[in-house]
Amino acid sequence: MINVLIVEDSPVIREFLVYLLSSDPEICVIGTASNGEEAFEAVKRKKPDVITMDINMPKMDGFEATRRIMETHPTPIIIVSGVWDPKEVETTFRAVEAGALAVLSRPVGIGHPDHEATAWDLIQTVKVMSEVKVVRRWAHLRRGKVAPAPPPPTTVPSPRSPADIKLVAIGASTGGPIVLHTILSELPTDFPLPVLIVQHIAAGFTQGFVEWLAQSSGFPVHVATYGEDPLPGHAYVAPDGSHMGVDRGGRIILSHDEPENSMRPSVSYLFRSVAYVHEKRAVGVLLTGMGKDGAEELKMMKDRGALTIAQDRETSVVYGMPGEAVNLDAASYMLPPEKIAEVLTNLIKKG
Ranges of each domain in the chain: 2-129, 162-347
Q: Using CB atoms within 10 A of its CB, is residue 74 exposed (0-12), middle (13-18) or buried (19+)?
A: middle
- Give alpha helix (H) positions in 99-198: 115-129, 176-185
Place 146 in a pLDDT band, splitting at 50, 70 and 90. very low
> Looking at domain 162-347, which of 3.40.47.10, 3.40.50.180, 1.20.1090.10, 3.40.80.10 is its CATH number?
3.40.50.180
CA distance 107 to 117: 8
**What is the pLDDT, as a whole number, of residue 219?**
96
Model confidence at 162: pLDDT above 90: no
Mean pLDDT of 295-316: 95
Residue 72 has pLDDT above 50, yes or no: yes
CA 238 to CA 260: how far, in whole Å?
14
> In the predicted model, is pLDDT for residue 148 greater than 90?
no
Torsions phi, psi for 319 (to 5 deg): -90, 30
Q: Tell me whether domains 2-129 and 162-347 share a fold.
A: yes
Average pLDDT for 106-126: 91
Is-catalytic flag, 34?
Answer: no
Residue 138, pLDDT > 60, answer no
What percentage of the chain exceeds 70 in pLDDT? 89
- On whether the CB atoms of residues 221 and 260 are closer than 8 A, the answer is no
Q: How confident is the model at residue 144 (pLDDT cuts 50, 70, 90)?
A: very low
The pLDDT of 266-271, averaged and rounded, is 98
pLDDT band at 277 (very low <50, low <70, confident <90, very high): very high
Sign of CA dihedral 291, 294, 298, 299: positive
Cβ atoms of 12 and 58 closer than 8 Å: no
What DSSP element (H or E) covers 167?
A: strand 167-172
- Give the confidence band of 136 by pLDDT, cuts at 50, 70, 90: very low
- Give the separation between CA 241 and CA 334, rounded to whole angstroms: 30
Q: How many angstroms separate the first and last alpha carbons of the chain?
A: 58
Residue 349: its pLDDT value, please?
A: 62
pLDDT at residue 158 tops 90: no
Is the predicted pLDDT of residue 151 greater than 60, yes or no? no
Higher pLDDT pick, 193 / 134: 193
pLDDT (0 to 100) of residue 50: 97
Helices 320-327 & 295-303 angle (0-180, nearest 10):
40
The catalytic position among 49, 54, 61, 293 is: 293
Say if residues 60 and 37 touch (Cβ distance below 8 Å): yes
pLDDT of residue 91: 82
The answer to whether 293 is a known catalytic residue is yes
Catalytic residue among 181, 200, 243, 278: 200
Could you tell me the pTM of the whole model? Answer: 0.87
CA atoms of 236 and 270, how far apart (whole Å): 12
Domain 2-129: give its CATH superfamily: Response regulator (3.40.50.2300)
Instruction: Supply φ then ψ for residue 228, to 5 degrees.
Output: -80, 150
Calpha distance 292→117 (Å, rounded):
19
From residue 197, how far is each of 85, 172, 234, 327 by CA, in Å? 24, 8, 11, 23
- SS3 state at 207: helix
Element (H, E) at 33: strand 27-33
Does residue 24 carry a catalytic annotation?
A: no
Sign of CA dihedral 307, 273, 244, 100: negative
The answer on pLDDT for 257 being more than 90 is: yes
Predicted confidence (pLDDT) per residue in 119-131, tens digit: 999 999 999 999 8
